[in-house]
Amino acid sequence: MKWRDSMAPAGVCAHETTTRHAGAIYPFLFETGRRIPGVVVGVELSGGTFSFDPFTLYASGVLSNPNMVVFGQIGRGKSSFVKTMIYRQLTFGRGAYVIDPKGEYSALGHACGVTPLALRPGGPLRLNPLDLVGDDIHEGAVRRLQLLESLVSSSLGRDLFSRERSALELALHDVQQSTNTATLPLVSNALLQPSAESARSIYSSQEQLCDDGREVGLELRRLVTGDLKGLFDAETSSSLDLDQRLVILDLSALYGSEALGLFMVCATAWVQQLLQRQRNAGRQSLLVVDEAWAILNDVAVARWLQSSWKLARAWGVSNIAVLHRVSDLKGVGSDGSEQQGLAQGLLLDSETRVIYAQPTGEVDAARDLLHLNETERSLLVKLPRGVALWKVGNNSSIVRHLVGQRERQIVDTDGAMG
Ligand SMILES: Nc1ncnc2c1ncn2[C@@H]1O[C@H](COP(=O)(O)OP(=O)(O)OP(=O)(O)O)[C@@H](O)[C@H]1O
Ligand SMILES: [Mg+2]
């Protein structure tokens, strides 16, 4: 393809060249490699710049979904890539929402003029995970019920029985009838004191319905007076600016806690109603769940995350999950197990996979789960920091992520080592 330098001053013969040569003269402006449109990520080791944009690739039919998973050993540059991706995408008017379990996105926030929302027990900030909304009242209620079921079954360590599920559904219905703002404590109370109308609707008695939902009600109560207390147990703090283009939820005060997965699920649920607002404002956004292994470790909450992944296209959202090992997806569970189904479902719904170096013991699982060829498999143990194997739909590239001078302080997590 010919390219004509339209910036040539009047009277001077305009420069005309091919895009291949222009790529060499003007790096970062022209693609010479695979020509993926989007923000620049870095350079392909086979030559040329490498760019990426999940939304344009989806619109052009290269990808059938806009989601991404990023794998890699500790310190290989996963979060650095995600931070610069956000920084660069914001320039193009996109929004970004980050679940930040280690509290390491504050430099990015600072560079963008945004203060992270720090959630800490006893702190002033409350988020209501049941703020979840949908396109209609029914969809919002379904998402709330899914979330409640995931939280309780994860906490109980088992799936709910059908009578418990019905009791939960009726309790949520009762709460939604009486208030516009359902909260976890209100649902817990409604389970422990079901209404006569709810009991009648399933041809049962109040005593029986109370009995059916009692264990779920008590477990939910335990959660809101224990792990989730003071964070996710009330209406969302009214002081929050819900229309910021970059929202960072800093969960570092909860990092290392056994309930980290539950905290992350509640935080992600709350963020999803912001995404809905963004969509209504016509803005496409990234939703980053860093350290997503904490969610995926638990089958019940992984189910919920997967259902959220499925909403990506409808909401104009590109979900990005950051994981360490491929086996974080539990894809190596027994054949036909639910874990395997979930892992494969999440991968199918994440057509872009960015794979940094993996430990030797993981490469076979990576090959099988990500359908790598032998060359790609053997490369995985050798990739240096900042270099990843990119699988975008059917295309593969080895890419060195480039960090600009101004971006260095955004990505630095080695400060203490300096
Ligand atoms: N492409 C790169 N160019 C230069 N430095 C980089 C690059 N990628 C990462 N680094 C540096 O490597 C360090 C570790 O990176 P990062 O925190 O992104 O790793 P990580 O894979 O997210 O680690 P963890 O698994 O612990 O979360 C950072 O200090 C960052 O500055
Ligand atoms: Mg990281």
Tell me: do 152 and 76 sit in the same domain.
no
The atom of ligand 1 lying closest to the CA of 414 is: 29
Q: Is 75 left (phi over 0), alpha (psi -120 to 50) or beta?
A: left
| Banded model confidence at residue 276, pLDDT cuts 50, 70, 90 | confident
**What CATH number corresponds to the domain at position 73?**
3.40.50.300
- Please check whether residue 208 lies inside any domain of the structure: yes
pLDDT-derived band of residue 300, with 50, 70 and 90 as boundaries?
confident
197 C-alpha vs ligand 2 centroid, how far in Å?
A: 50
Question: Which ranges of 157-310 does DSSP label H, i.e. alpha helix?
Answer: 162-178, 184-192, 196-201, 206-225, 260-280, 293-296, 299-310
Separation between Cα atoms, residue 358 and residue 194, nearest integer Å: 51
Amino acid at 121: P
Is pLDDT above 50 for 93? yes
Picking from 262, 316, 312, the residue whose alpha carbon sits closest to that of residue 285 is 316
Residues above pLDDT 70, as percent of the chain: 87
Q: Stretch 28-46: mean pLDDT, rounded?
A: 69
Model pLDDT, residue 333: 58
Give mean pLDDT, residues 25-38: 50
Give a yes or no: residue 5 inside a domain: no
Residue 350 pLDDT:
92
Q: Of 32-46, 242-256, 383-397, where does mean pLDDT reach its minimum?
A: 32-46
Q: Are residues 155 and 187 in the same domain?
A: yes
pLDDT digits (tens, 9 = 90+) for 56-75: 999 999 899 999 999 999 99
As beta bridge partners, residue 248 has 98
Centre of ligand 2 to C-alpha 148, Å, is: 29
Indicate the pairing of strand 395-401 with strand 117-118. unpaired
pLDDT of residue 416: 62
Q: Identify whether residues 335 and 215 lie together within a single domain.
A: no
Band (35; pLDDT cuts 50, 70, 90): low
Is it the case that residue 26 has pLDDT exceeding 60? no
Q: Given ligand 1 and candidates 50, 73, 291, 385, which is best to mutate, with the most ligand atoms within 8 Å of its CB? A: 385
User: Per the domain annotation, does 16 fall within a domain?
Assistant: no
Least Cα distance to 84 among 415, 410, 413 occurs for 410
Domain membership flag for residue 52: no
Same domain, 144 and 99: no
Whose Cα sits closest to atom 15 in ligand 1?
77
Task: Give mean pLDDT, residues 132-140.
Answer: 71
Distance in angstroms (rounded) separating the CA atoms of residues 244 and 405 = 26
Q: β-strands 285-289, 49-52: how paired?
A: unpaired
Average pLDDT, the chain: 86
- Say if 10 falls within a structural domain: no
* Residue 107 falls inside a structural domain: yes
Between the CA of 405 and the centroid of ligand 2 the distance, in Å, is 20
Q: Rounded CA gap, 312 and 349, in Å?
A: 9
Task: Give the confidence band of 135 by pLDDT, cuts at 50, 70, 90.
Answer: low
Is the domain of 85 the same as that of 206?
no
CB atoms within 10 A of CB 222: 16
* Ligand 1 cavity residues, CB under 6 Å: 72, 74-80, 385-386, 401, 403, 411-414
Same domain, 103 and 248: yes
Partners of residue 68 on adjacent β-strands: 320, 352
pTM summary value: 0.86
199/332 same-domain check = no
**Residue located nearest, by CA, to atom 12 of ligand 1:** 77
Res. 21: pLDDT tops 60? no
Whether residue 180 is contained in a domain is answered as: yes
Determine which of 174-183, 280-289, 373-382 has the lowest per-residue pLDDT on average. 280-289
Quote the ligand 1 centre to 55 CA distance (angstroms).
25
The residue range of the domain holding 289 is 66-115+244-256+268-385+401-406
Q: Are residues 220 and 251 in the same domain?
A: no
Please report the pLDDT score of residue 3 as a whole number: 39
Ligand minimally distant from the alpha carbon of residue 418: 1
Task: Please tell me the total count of domains within the chain.
Answer: 2
Q: Ion ligand 2 — residues with CB under 5 Å? A: 79
Residue 155 vs residues 63, 128, 357: alpha-carbon distances, Å = 36, 18, 34
Residue 306 has pLDDT above 90, yes or no: no
pLDDT average, residue stretch 144-156: 92
Place of tokens 């794998």: 71
- Of 80, 85, 358, which is best to mutate to test ligand 1, by the most ligand atoms within 8 angstroms of its C-beta? 80
In this predicted structure, what is the pLDDT of residue 344? 77
In a domain, 191, yes or no: yes
